[in-house]
Each structure stands twice: as C-alpha cells, then as structure tokens.
C-alpha cells in the first residue's frame, strides 16, 4: 500500500485547474468586468468586431452563452492565478497584455514581438503604444520588450537567466507550423508549477495545423493538464502545470 502522503499528493495543492479557469472565464462576473474595458481597447476593426460579437451573443443567450478565447481565458488566468511574471509572444497592439494587467496590475511582463508593419492587414504600432495601453489599464509592474524574433530572443533570455520561470505564458506569435511548435517547445520548460500556458488560434481556418502543434508540444509533458476549445471563434488551448 502506498504511503498516505503519496495517495493524497494530488490534494496538496490549490492551483487553478483547467475546468475552473474555463468556468470563471465564461461567468457573468468575468464578462461584467471584461466588457467595459475591452470596448476602450476596440481601436481597430477586428477588435470592434469581436467586441460586438461578445455583446450580441450575451444579449441573445445570457448566462447560458459559453465561449472561450484569448481575452476571457487570459483575464480568468490573471484573476484566479495572480501571476507575478508573464511572458507573451506576439503582442501587436497589446490587447492581451492589457487584459492580463487588468486582472493582475502588478504583474511583471516580458513582451516579445517583431512589430511587423501591416501584420494580418492591420496596424502594428510598436512598444511605445503598447506601454501606453498598459498604463491606461492600471499596470504597475515592470515591462520588458524583446524586439525581434522569438526563435532567437526567447532562448537567449533563458540562457542568460537560467532560473527564470513564468506563472503565465501566451504563445500567439509565429503562426507557421514550425515556428509555433518551436515557440511552444521553448517556453514549456519555463512554466512555473501551477503556471498557465495559453496558445491561440487552434481552429483558425488559415492555420489548421496549430491544434496538432499544440498536441505534439504538450504530449511529452504529462504534468500539463490541457484544455481545448474549438466551437466558436478561432479556438484557444491552455494548460496548467502540475508539480
């Protein structure tokens, strides 16, 4: 018979599990907090369209509406897990960073982007704009911008700081099959115990291979509890790291 400490080991932590995170992300309380500031971020056509989608669906279906995407998943992760350190690959206008800052104003952020102009047909204004967005959304922590390719900058960061761990990580940068997989493989070992990893666009019609990238990258890490959502929007996957 196993020692009692082994038998009950899975009950000795209070980390957020994926089901709890998903449930909170879709709760009325979360949407009541997300919608007012999300509207203020609706500064391009894409975000305006998403914001209108949220409001129309909530008006039509009320509390029964179930939808997960990078906005409510990151907000739930920030609120429930209260991360100290956050790494984001793929920043653009800083909407995801701002959502995390709303949920955890003191979080320290490492933000990596190539700042490609006309990215996906939309403006990509750069670090100064993103810093302003963070400030307007109450961010009080530190922010470090890594300007360039995540495939070289992230490994270099980890080589320079061997003990660096992140409580929350978003991978939403290079959407090529090889690039997305490389980003996931680079960051997963640096996810802290109890930390949350978020991967966007797993059902995007232009990138149908991303779901497989996610599954391949996480399969070799049995301590990751994963969740996938592909019903509406472009899909989202996230994982929580057990000890």
How far apart are the C-alpha atoms of 120 and 177, rounded to whole Å?
17
pLDDT of residue 231: 97
pTM of the shown model: 0.93
Write the pLDDT tens digit of every residue in 7-42.
Answer: 566 666 678 999 999 999 999 999 999 999 998 886
SS3 label, residue 145? strand
Give ∠ CA 192-197-201 in degrees, rounded to 5. 165
Q: CA 55 → CA 4, 33, 66, 122, distances in Å? A: 50, 13, 13, 23
In the CATH scheme, what architecture does the domain 4-241 have? 3-Layer(aba) Sandwich (3.40)
Task: Compute the Cα dihedral for 238, 152, 105, 175 and give only its sign.
Answer: negative
pLDDT of residue 150: 98
**Angle (deg, nearest 10), helices 95-103 and 28-41:** 140
Are the CB atoms for 83 and 139 separated by under 8 Å?
no
pLDDT of residue 213: 98
Q: CA 103 → CA 49, 60, 78, 180, 204, distances in Å? A: 23, 27, 5, 26, 26
Are the CB atoms for 223 and 195 separated by under 8 Å?
no
Each domain of the chain, given as residue ranges in start order, spans: 4-241
Are the CB atoms for 151 and 179 separated by under 8 Å?
yes
Q: What is the DSSP letter of 15?
A: P
Of 91, 95, 103, 118, nearest in space to 39 by CA: 95
How far apart are the C-alpha atoms of 231 and 216, rounded to whole Å?
21
pLDDT of residue 45: 86
The residues of the chain scoring below 50 in pLDDT are 1
């Amino acid at each position: 018979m196993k020692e009692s400490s082994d038998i009950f080991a899975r009950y000795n932590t209070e980390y957020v599990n994926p089901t709890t995170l998903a449930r909170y992300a879709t709760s009325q309380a979360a949407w009541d907090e997300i919608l007012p500031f999300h509207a203020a971020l609706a500064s391009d056509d894409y975000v305006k369209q998403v914001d209108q989608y949220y409001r129309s669906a909530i008006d039509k279906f009320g509390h029964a509406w179930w939808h997960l995407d990078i906005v409510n998943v990151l907000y739930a992760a920030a609120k429930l897990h209260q991360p100290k350190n956050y790494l984001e690959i793929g920043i653009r206008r800083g909407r995801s960073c701002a959502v995390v800052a709303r949920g955890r104003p003191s979080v320290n952020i490492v933000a990596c982007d190539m700042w490609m102009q006309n990215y996906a047909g939309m403006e990509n204004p750069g670090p100064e704009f993103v810093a302003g967005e963070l400030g307007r959304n109450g961010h009080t922590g530190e922010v470090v911008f890594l300007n360039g390719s995540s495939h070289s900058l992230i490994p270099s960061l980890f080589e320079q700081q061997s003990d660096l761990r992140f409580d929350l990580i978003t991978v939403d940068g290079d959407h090529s099959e090889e690039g997305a997989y490389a980003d996931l493989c680079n960051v997963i070992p640096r996810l802290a115990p109890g930390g949350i990893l978020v991967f966007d666009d797993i059902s995007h019609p232009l990138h149908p291979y991303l779901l497989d990238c996610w599954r391949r990258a996480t399969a070799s890490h049995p301590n990751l509890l994963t969740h996938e959502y592909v019903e509406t929007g472009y899909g989202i996957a996230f994982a929580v790291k057990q000890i």
